[in-house]
């Protein structure tokens, strides 16, 4: 997936929905499976000069590597 494709998929984030992202190829030592990021009340940060895909929960900013996203759930 490209940054543009990921940004299009995340357009629905408006701080009223949660976001789950599963990354391919990331194996935590204690789980032995793909890693998941959960962001409550996620909001997509508009494209900036660095062109990174960023989401926020209002307290933290998460930078997503589009090439490593296996799947995501918006709910």
| Confidence band, pLDDT 50/70/90 cuts, at residue 28 | low
What count of other Cβ atoms lies within 10 Å of the Cβ of residue 43? 18
Residue 40's pLDDT is 97
Tally of structural domains, the chain: 1
Asked if residue 26 has pLDDT above 80, the reply is no
Asked if residue 18 has pLDDT above 70, the reply is yes
In DSSP terms, 1 is beta-bridged to none
Domain with 11, as residue range(s), is: 3-74
What is the per-residue pLDDT across 35-71, written as a single tens digit (0 to 9) for each?
Answer: 789 999 999 999 999 999 999 999 999 999 999 999 9
- pTM comes to 0.84
Looking up residue 10, the CATH number of its domain turns out to be 2.30.30
End-to-end CA distance of the chain: 21
Q: Look-up: residue for tokens 């000069």?
A: 49
């Amino acid at each position: 997936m490209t940054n543009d494709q990921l940004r299009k998929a995340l357009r629905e984030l408006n701080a009223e929905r949660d976001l789950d992202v599963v990354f391919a190829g990331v194996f935590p030592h204690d789980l032995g499976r793909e890693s998941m990021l959960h962001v409550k009340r996620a909001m997509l940060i508009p494209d900036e000069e660095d062109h990174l895909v960023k989401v926020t929960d209002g307290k933290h900013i998460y930078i997503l590597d589009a090439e490593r996203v296996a799947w995501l759930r918006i709910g």
